[in-house]
């Protein structure tokens, strides 16, 4: 088990800002106004109801990408949000030695915002960090209910969603590794890689792909190749966009 010494958070989580936009977490929740919480977006059975923030986000992504069907936009939206959540959690683990309580009821989200997703946290409450706790915070607290909401209304295979979550995790760890190496922090780079490897072995992510160093190859496809001009992602199971298959493998 990897257990880190606890380090106090500054109220604004300022140490995350140099890591880039995917890692930044706003803590002035009052400025978010009436924006919905992620818990409201995950509400069971609500992912395709009029006015639901998750449904709104998917339709916005579909329009922006010219996606041929909503399930493609749902996959892209899912991976974008997963990337934000993993980046915040891993970033805090690496630079602070702890992770804040990211309870979905305390995270406000702007479904009409640009990428990366805009998030506000209501209060910074520290938790100890270890792979098991990170999995509890991100996988159990967010990605499991998000997947349930998406699958209720979109034909997204469990393997695809698992691959999205794993890809987002590996991508966050890779960016942390690069940042740490650029700034002469080899211990931080090693920690990011170690946490990612342990999390990818979690039952909810196991089998989603192969991690070699910081390079990840997933066993499923996020469907981005179906977006006009989209092509395949760097970690896709396909070497080139399929020409005739109506669906990507689910993993």
Q: Compute the average pLDDT of residues 80-90.
A: 97
pLDDT score, position 245: 46
Distance between start and end Cα atoms, the chain = 28
| C-alpha gyration radius of the chain | 17
CA-to-CA distance for 25 and 87, rounded, in angstroms?
10
Q: Which residue has the higher pLDDT, 2 or 54?
A: 54
Tell me how crowded residue 137 is: count the other CB atoms within 10 A of its CB: 22
Over residues 152-165, the mean pLDDT reads 94
Contact 74, 227 (CB under 8 A): no
Nearest-angstrom CA–CA distance, 162 and 60: 23
CB neighbour list of residue 88: distance below 8 Å, 6 or more residues apart: 16, 23, 25, 102, 119
User: CA-CA distance, 244 to 25, in Å (whole number)?
Assistant: 41
Residue written as token pair 């931080």 = 188
Whole-number pLDDT of residue 32:
66
Q: What percent of the chain has pLDDT over 70?
A: 88
pLDDT at 170: 97
Q: How does pLDDT run across 236-248, given as a tens digit for each residue?
A: 898 888 874 444 4
By CB neighbour count within 10 A (0-12 exposed, 13-18 middle, 19+ buried), where does 37 fall?
buried
E strands present in 89-220: 99-100, 107-110, 118-121, 126-127, 209-212, 215-218
What pTM, to 2 d.p., does this model score? 0.90
CA distance 135 to 193: 15
Q: CB count, 10 Å around CB of 223? A: 23
What is the reported pLDDT for 45?
52
Give the tens place of pLDDT for each residue, 98-154. 888 999 999 999 999 999 999 999 888 888 666 678 999 999 999 999 999 999 989
Determine if the peptide bond prior to 116 is cis (ω within 30°).
yes
Band (pLDDT 50/70/90 cuts) for residue 204 is: very high
Predicted pLDDT at 174: 97
pLDDT in tens, 29-73: 667 678 999 999 998 555 556 678 999 999 999 999 999 999 999
């Amino acid at each position: 088990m990897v257990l880190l010494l606890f380090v106090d958070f500054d109220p604004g989580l300022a140490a995350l800002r140099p890591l880039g936009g995917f890692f930044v977490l706003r803590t002035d929740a009052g400025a978010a106004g009436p924006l919905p919480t992620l818990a409201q977006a995950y509400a069971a059975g609500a992912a395709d109801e009029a006015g639901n923030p998750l449904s709104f986000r998917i339709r916005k992504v579909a329009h922006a990408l010219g996606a041929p069907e909503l399930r493609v936009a749902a996959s892209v939206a899912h991976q974008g949000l997963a990337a934000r959540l993993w980046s915040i959690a891993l970033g805090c683990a690496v630079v602070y030695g702890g992770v804040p309580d990211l309870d979905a009821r305390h995270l406000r989200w702007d479904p009409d915002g640009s990428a990366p997703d805009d998030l506000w946290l209501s209060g910074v409450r520290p938790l100890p960090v270890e792979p098991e706790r990170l999995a509890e915070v991100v996988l159990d607290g967010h990605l499991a209910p998000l997947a349930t909401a998406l699958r209720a209304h979109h034909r997204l295979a469990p393997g695809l969603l698992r691959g999205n979550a794993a890809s987002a995790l590996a991508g966050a760890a890779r960016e942390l590794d690069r940042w740490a190496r650029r700034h002469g922090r080899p211990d931080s780079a090693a920690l990011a890689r170690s946490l990612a490897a342990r999390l990818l072995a979690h039952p909810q992510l196991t089998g989603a792909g192969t991690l070699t160093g910081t390079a990840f190859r997933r066993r499923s496809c996020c469907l981005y190749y179906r977006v006009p001009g989209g092509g395949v992602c760097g970690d896709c199971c396909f070497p080139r966009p399929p020409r005739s298959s109506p669906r990507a493998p689910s993993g």
